[in-house]
Structure 1
Amino acid sequence: MTKASIHRFSNRLHQKLGLGTWQLGGPNIVQGKAMGWGEISEEESLAILSAALETGIQFIDTADSYGKGLSEIIVGKALRELSYPQDIIVCTKFGNVYLSDGTTGQDFSPEHLFASVKASLQRLQREHIDVLLLHSPPDNFDWANYDRAPFEDLVSQGLIRQYGVSSKSVYGAKRVMDAGFGSVIEVIYNALDRRVDEILSSHPHQAAYDIIGRVPLGSGFLSDRLLTEDPQFGEDDYRSHMADRDKNWMVENARKLVFLADLPGGLSANALRFTLQNPIISVVIPGARSVAQVQSNVLAANLPALSEAYIHHIEQSVPSVPDWWKPSK
């Protein structure tokens, strides 16, 4: 496959800004554990999407598991009511399933693929999906024996335009590139986790992929508020279940970037533009739980690029991710 959809975005920062909609799926409680970001009303969700579209954002990222389909429904309703059905690139994901016993699992079979595409198209109220991604398959997924023909069949039918993988980690993303599967990779990239630069930027297949930068604000830890306050997450927010050592590392290292808070827009805006200005990233998808957060993201995208001196300062302040995030040798 060739780059056909996402790659029409240029390297101007404001045109690389998209919107992630995991937050719009609500708490999504599974076996008593939050899989979402907490309560949000449909009215607020539609206002967020409206604000994003009105500012020129053209890329919307969602998934069939966000709120068990609720996020896709909200996106579809917003695009219909706001009359933006053709100009927007919609990326969705499949493979995470809710089992009859209340647990979750994964299914990337052709049968589930076709059923998922049909269901997502109905929820999104669209005739095609611009980008379809496998949703967080294991990093050691067996790409050598995974049949890509069903995806090409969906492309030939006009039901999807591009396909690829939303990777669990950058190491899984590298294996996708190694296998040459699809043409899109969604991967974590932010000022605290820059492993994309180390592992993907020099990959021989990198130019064949559109790369979507996810978690650009470090799951909300790259926040001006957390420079002085300890994080407090409600029980319906998935971050309340994060391991303490992960939360502590995120807070401690985000605070090492306090010098970005002195720049226009503050820490969050400048952390976001750090991700936006990476030349191998095609589009960046910060989430938003309010219109104000959308406006902050747009502000960041309209700021000039950070200087090389600030990039160097970021790299020196947080040299690497913790060892327990890296694969064991």
Structure 2
Amino acid sequence: MPLMRELGRTGRMAGAVGMGCWAIGGHFTLHGLNDGWGDVDDAQSVRAIHTGLDLGATLFDTADAYGTGHSEDILGIALRQRRHEVVIATKFGFTYDRSTRALGDIDVSPAYIETANARSLERLGIDCIDLYQIHPGELTDDQADAAAEALEGLVERGRIAAWGWSTDNAEAARRMLVYPHFAAIQQELNVLHDGPDMLALCAETGLASLNRSPLAMGLLSGKFSVKTQFKTDDVRGAGHAWVRHFHNGRPAPEVLARLSDLRDLLTSNGRTPAQGALAWLLARSPHTFPIPGFKTEAQVRDNLGALDKGPLPAAIMADIDRVLSRPLAAAE
């Protein structure tokens, strides 16, 4: 049976490796730059989701921002006959124009939350969202509290079951613990980018840690080289300042060198590089839920193969720590 974990303070169990649905949203822009992952085939996306279900995925994470609603549309279609098997997580907080597929300003006001929630429920074709997450990572205390109170109201009305926040700010997340249905955070976490403060908070309080960018935007799949070049229609080549490890659409050579040092450790016991990277996350904390992205059935099979092999053993984790403790070589 695939590895299952308790999903934070939701009271639900979920497959320890979930599926991130950013890429299947297709094209959209943020600040005028492409924020999608290139062309997408909707029929293939549905097949990939069904493959994931058959392989033990039960946690699906999306956002109304992804394709300005298109990811939610496709996820709703794919899960319609199997709603009872899954935990559906989505996010809100970026305004958007569906006609131009462009994201706009941040809005986490109670009035906007009411509207965004209704739209997500309709696109997903469900009556209640299992985990509804604040998408913008930094808010003022007043913004956060007003949003939290609105989210608690949605729980009382049966429109969401629990809520969370996609943030790397552990102290800001700690403030939300006074709200009874705050159940999970979503943090950037992978072999190349640890998040010990947030993981310590999860260990202390029982929050779930959903891990965005668990494969470092694909780098940890082991498929890229110094010759790889992403076009501007892909978020990795679009020119966003916040995209790590890619410069002008190319993987940073010093990061590729670090991955080369890690490869044998990550691929121990017959794992693929992606499975090793996900196994590192599973071993990093009992509260983690990596949510790797996908566009094809083959990617889903590779990612979810990590469920069968389980977390990396302690000895391998210690060896990885030793490699990571070495200074990262400067780029040439």
Instruction: Give yes or no for TM over 0.5.
Output: yes
The Cα RMSD (Å) is 2.6
Q: 1:258 aligns with which of 263, 281, 296?
A: 263
- Counterpart-to-counterpart distance in 1, 2:83 and 2:262: 39
Question: Structure 1 residue 159: deviation in Å?
Answer: 0.4
Deviation digits for residues 163-221 of structure 1, max 9, x if unmatched?
Answer: 11011xx2x243212442522101111111112xx312333883241221221111111
Q: Is the 2:48–2:297 Cα contact (8 Å) retained in structure 1?
A: yes
Q: CA deviation at 1:113?
A: 0.2
Question: Is 2:221 the partner of 1:223?
Answer: yes
Distance 1:206 1:219, change over 3 A: farther
C-alpha displacement of 1:308:
1.8
Equivalence for 2:315: 309
Inter-partner Cα distance in structure 2 for 1:245 and 1:276: 22
Q: Which residue matches 2:140?
A: 141
* Structure 1 equivalent of residue 4 of structure 2: none
What is aligned with 1:132?
132
**Retained in 1: the 8 A contact 2:282–2:310?**
no
> Structure 2: how far apart are the matches of 1:279 and 1:268?
18
**Partner AA of 1:232 in structure 2:** Q
Q: Which amino acid aligns with 2:191?
A: A
1:260-300: CA deviation from partner (whole Å, max 9, x where unpaired) = 35421222210111112333424221111110010001212
Residue pairs, 1:108-127, within 5 angstroms: 108-127=108-127
* Corresponding residue to 2:236 among 232, 236, 239: 239
Instruction: Indicate the residue corresponding to 1:283 in structure 2.
Output: 289
1:229 Cα deviation (Å)? 4.6
Rounded to whole Å, the distance in 2 between the matches of 1:286 and 1:238 is 15
- What aligned pairs does 1:72-87 form with structure 2 within 5 A after superposition? 72-80=72-80, 83-87=81-85
Task: Give me the whole-angstrom Cα distance separating, in 2, the residues matched to 1:239 and 1:309.
Answer: 33
Q: Is the 8 A contact 1:194 1:320 kept in 2?
A: no
**Counterpart contact for 2:33–2:240, Cα < 8 Å:** no
SS in 1 for 2:186: strand
- Residue 50 of structure 2 aligns to which amino acid in structure 1? S
* Offset of residue 230 of structure 1: 3.4
2:89 pairs with one of 83, 88, 91: 91
2:42 — aligned with what? 42
- Structure 1: which amino acid aligns with 2:83? P
> Per-residue CA shift, 1:225-280, capped at 9, x if unaligned?
22x45332122110102559832254343233122354212222101111123334
Instruction: State the match for 2:63 in structure 1.
Output: 63
Does the 8 Å CA contact 1:69/1:123 hold for their aligned counterparts? yes
Identity %: 27
SS at match of 1:133: strand
Mean CA deviation greater in 105-114 or 216-225: 216-225
In structure 2, the residue corresponding to 1:216 is in which secondary structure? Answer: coil
> Once structures 1 and 2 are overlaid, which stretch shifts more, 258-267 or 45-54?
258-267
Q: TM-score under structure 2 normalisation?
A: 0.84
In the other structure, the counterpart of 1:177 is: 174
CA distance in 2, matches of 1:130, 1:234: 36
Report the CA distance shift for 1:265/1:242 in structure 2 as closer, same or farther (over 3 A): farther
Conservation of the 8 A alpha-carbon contact between 1:23 and 1:288: yes
Change (3 A) 1:221 1:174: farther
Looking at structure 2, the residues matched to 304 and 201 of structure 1 have their Cα atoms a distance apart, in angstroms, of 19
Cα shift at 1:141:
3.1
**CA contact under 8 A between 1:5 and 1:89: conserved in structure 2?**
no
Conserved? CA contact 1:192–1:321, under 8 Å = no
- Aligned position for 2:201: 203
- Give the partner amino acid of 1:258: R
Unaligned runs of at least 5 residues, structure 1? 10-14, 323-329
Range with greater deviation from structure 2 (209-218 or 251-260): 251-260
2:16 partner letter: K
Q: Give the conservation status (yes or no) of the 8 Å contact 1:213–1:281.
A: no
Unaligned runs of 5+ in 2: 1-7, 247-251
Equivalent position amino acid for 1:220 in 2: G
Whether the 8 Å CA contact 1:5–1:162 is kept in 2: the answer is no
TM-score by length of 1: 0.84
In the other structure, the counterpart of 2:54 is 54
Give the distance between the partners of 1:221 and 1:30, measured in 2 at CA.
22
Q: Give the residue type in structure 2 aligned to 1:238.
A: V
| CA shift in 2, pair 1:225/1:103, >3 Å | closer
Residues 262 and 157 of structure 1: CA distance in aligned 2, closer, same or farther (over 3 Å): closer
